[in-house]
Structure 1
């Protein structure tokens, strides 16, 4: 098999760092830092980190097996799925060091965990959770040479890949972080399968995996910025998924070749020239039955100038069901128009969406994009046009309403130097030229490019009635 990519260091003997929070190990169900931290502990990704010895990893696996009967979080299907894969990778990595009895004990536990996962597939959540579950069962079937499990997992894997990967290669939850996470997982499936073809119950699954990987890699090429970083749209953050270069290196070692696939079904578009990169959201919710990682960001955008962030998404800092989580999914946390203080789609409950905006794309060229959405009602359509200029980006908003605000969240470190009804000067040297504002305000907030990290930013609020246009002109 091709060597598996190493994970970021998160385990230092009995101290663990996940989602930017560090704590000593007390027990597997420690939720003092939130459920996501506890889940990360039970994923055991850290078995694949650089410098972790076989002896240290074996100590943790043995301890986990002893504690599992009383570890309810460790028996949840999602951490079970990821842990199954990480254990099998660890065993393959250290195969020459593992005593036979230890290997048999671990494989017995793996079979029991795979049986548990088979009974607890996350059909109530679907989306990335179900796909991760199925990938774990597929890899387990290959590793354990389990023909019955292999037939079931291969069938389910084909079904979910068909359902979840869009025609332009994007994962249908439209969050670049999750696209990278799942691409990494499908690469793992292909790695195990291509190295053990004789163990496959369904040989055709290998070609299915390859076709999906070509599409997902083609989309990844299209969605990243020029520096290889992902846009932080929907539920996306840095420091979680394997980075772009790591994914491409892993794919190339597996003999996968691909071409860039233009953005289409995912709902994103680029406006680009030599100095400017603007990612525009003109899509609808594609994972209609599981929009848990979706934000109310219709017609929002991110903007970089000379590779440096200028207008940014607020990002995500937490999955806990808190007011901050609700805010980060709301329209007000994005670079678009808010009417009467409402969101364009009704996000609630941490991972739910009620009323949903429907976006219609009206114009789609390399230099101009125009779209509208009905998130504020059929009688209150928001229409927005983006125009790529030689020296900047022009944005025009139209609504049949008298109480609206267009928001621009500036990147950390960027200051507002002066404001008027017609111009805003910022510390990068850029000038925002405004036409149609009834009031211009500058407020303060914070964004999160990593979980549990806050960075101070300024937000420009442009109040208007019916129509407004602004031009972000660079010097």
Structure 2
């Protein structure tokens, strides 16, 4: 039996004093009357999902293990678990969605192991029913991170029970996991949905799963260790200063706790080497530290020197680091799997630039998943640092049909998705260069190639050159976006505007937009939109700009 710290003395069995509880998800707080009779029909469906996850109970557990005083809401745990069971009949509401089931199943198991007296017959029976429902209602047809979440939960939950059915579930899920990891984890270690946040989240889940498998089955599957190893290496290459990650596609930072802690968790498992971890992860890693099972993998050695150019070719991300804390990330590759477009953005050939971990030029980000105008904007091309084109003959229409590299629609849909035709990165003397081309303009018999070069002057300032080369048989209208970081002064845009107007006859607009680090977060900033026209033939728009190293001052 899985033995974890026992904190039974915190549990309160008196229900009459519990009248109200407050939850804060996605930067939104709601006070709920107890018992919660309606777990559904909240103002935001994603907020509602968070309520059903029971991830908040894991946060409470972290506080207890940190040996803080008894947290105010811990006494609510028995009642909230029973409350969920009583007011969420089988198949009714979002509590029976396969994704919410997956997360809640694992969180309940964790609670039952830390607080054995919580594991009453009623609650264990509900856990088993939820597991069987998930087994018969997986999200296999959708694939992606949701299907992996389903599989991971089925494996962990099946190991908590001892029956013919639980063995059946385990065998099915472990085979499915190997197949899906071979499919979903790219050769460069990235997850096929090309989202840093979901990649980090899945690494955390897979590490926890690997520990549970080793504890119960006394084995370390090589194929699982190999994928964890690759995913760790991917994060180390992609990690920016101050713990930031690229925000391409849907990648809200508050989807996970700390990429550093999750990295340490995975490395602790791979190397069987103790690192500083959050309390729950520390308790989990303790389960296997005394194991004498042979480590069927080479030790993981961290990537120390990331200066120069680093490529994640299968993911389609390129990292240029000339030194002095400047970092540029360029994107051009397969946008997403053909069958899974839920988290894709129209952001091919975009770039983000950082100095000392702070954004200088950065896309909007992801502030929510609701099907509203902000969601459509955040997924569109205009929310990213790229150039867009439209057929000039269509200009007199009421609405210009800007060509999107990915035709996104609604919250999680996409139609046509451009594919990469060319990518190249190289170092020329002290200059780092990246370039790429995709087929987004193929439907109008045109082509576009983007090249970015960066280098440092003797004072550590950045010399930045952006070149957009267009080949077209027809006249086109273009617009180019430059989105500033929230703390960057608009004076950075001065020379960009001057060159664009004097050399290319462009017009400019500086507008107030927003920058989002995660769900429920929107921070004001300025964005520049350059617009112009180009005639048929081969044309080039070249914008050189010097960016001083006090731009974030």
Q: Structure 2 length as normaliser, TM-score?
A: 0.77
Highest Rg: 1 or 2? 2
Preserved CA contact (<8 Å) 2:195 2:249: yes
**Inter-partner Cα distance in structure 1 for 2:492 and 2:386:** 22
Task: Please state if 1:236 is matched with 2:247.
Answer: no
- Partner of 1:217, secondary structure, is helix
Preserved CA contact (<8 Å) 1:31 1:37: no
Structure-2 change in CA distance of 1:423 and 1:147 (3 Å): closer
**Inter-partner Cα distance in structure 2 for 1:368 and 1:3:** 52
Deviation at 1:339, TM superposition (A): 1.1
- Report what 2:449 is aligned to: 383
Task: Please state if 1:104 is matched with 2:121.
Answer: yes
- Report what 1:7 is aligned to: none
- Partner of 2:476, secondary structure, is coil
Deviation at 1:474, TM superposition (A): 2.4
1:115 to 125, 132, 142: 132
Runs of 4+ in structure 1 displaced over 6 angstroms? Answer: 1-4, 431-434
**Inter-partner Cα distance in structure 1 for 2:491 and 2:415:** 40
Structure-2 change in CA distance of 1:103 and 1:332 (3 Å): same
Deviation at 1:170, TM superposition (A): 0.6
RMSD of aligned alpha carbons: 2.6
Preserved CA contact (<8 Å) 2:385 2:481: yes
- Report what 1:224 is aligned to: 239
Structure-2 change in CA distance of 1:457 and 1:434 (3 Å): farther
Structure-2 change in CA distance of 1:357 and 1:3 (3 Å): farther
**Inter-partner Cα distance in structure 2 for 1:158 and 1:324:** 37
Of residues 375-384 and 312-321 in structure 1, the stretch that sits farther from structure 2 once superposed is 375-384
- Report what 1:75 is aligned to: 96
Task: Please state if 1:365 is matched with 2:426.
Answer: yes
Of residues 334-343 and 14-23 in structure 1, the stretch that sits farther from structure 2 once superposed is 334-343
**Inter-partner Cα distance in structure 2 for 1:423 and 1:124:** 47
Deviation at 1:419, TM superposition (A): 6.3
- Partner of 2:466, secondary structure, is strand
Preserved CA contact (<8 Å) 1:335 1:409: yes
- Partner of 1:63, secondary structure, is helix
- Report what 2:542 is aligned to: 469
- Give CA-to-partner distance per residue, 1:159-178, whole Å, 9 cap, x none: 11111110111110001111
Deviation at 1:143, TM superposition (A): 2.2
Task: Please state if 1:414 is matched with 2:424.
Answer: no
- Give CA-to-partner distance per residue, 1:418-457, whole Å, 9 cap, x none: 866x5459xxxxx999853522321221222121222111
**Inter-partner Cα distance in structure 2 for 1:13 and 1:414:** 43
- Report what 1:130 is aligned to: 147
Structure-2 change in CA distance of 1:423 and 1:113 (3 Å): closer
**Inter-partner Cα distance in structure 1 for 2:418 and 2:546:** 30
Task: Please state if 1:88 is matched with 2:146.
Answer: no
Preserved CA contact (<8 Å) 1:447 1:455: yes
**Inter-partner Cα distance in structure 1 for 2:349 and 2:236:** 22
Task: Please state if 1:343 is matched with 2:404.
Answer: yes
Preserved CA contact (<8 Å) 1:370 1:385: yes
Deviation at 1:35, TM superposition (A): 0.7
- Partner of 1:269, secondary structure, is strand
- Partner of 1:355, secondary structure, is strand
Preserved CA contact (<8 Å) 2:142 2:339: no
Q: Structure 1 length as normaliser, TM-score?
A: 0.89
**Inter-partner Cα distance in structure 2 for 1:432 and 1:137:** 56
Structure-2 change in CA distance of 1:13 and 1:432 (3 Å): farther
Deviation at 1:183, TM superposition (A): 1.0
- Partner of 1:403, secondary structure, is strand
Preserved CA contact (<8 Å) 2:249 2:344: yes
2:378 to 317, 328, 336: 328
Task: Please state if 1:258 is matched with 2:300.
Answer: yes
Which runs of structure 2 are paired with 1:22-421 in the superposition (5 Å)?
A: 22-26=29-33, 27=36, 28-49=38-59, 50-51=63-64, 55-69=75-89, 71-95=92-116, 98=117, 102-145=119-162, 146-197=166-217, 206-256=221-271, 257-259=299-301, 260=303, 263-275=312-324, 276-340=326-390, 341-366=402-427, 367-378=432-443, 379-390=445-456, 391-399=462-470, 400=472, 401-417=475-491
Task: Could you tell me which runs of 5 or more consecutive residues in structure 1 were left unpaired when the two chains were aligned.
Answer: 5-11, 426-430
Structure-2 change in CA distance of 1:29 and 1:76 (3 Å): same
- Report what 1:428 is aligned to: none
**Inter-partner Cα distance in structure 1 for 2:541 and 2:477:** 12
- Report what 1:448 is aligned to: 516
**Inter-partner Cα distance in structure 2 for 1:325 and 1:263:** 27
Preserved CA contact (<8 Å) 2:99 2:149: yes
- Partner of 1:364, secondary structure, is strand
Preserved CA contact (<8 Å) 1:2 1:253: no
Structure-2 change in CA distance of 1:437 and 1:450 (3 Å): farther
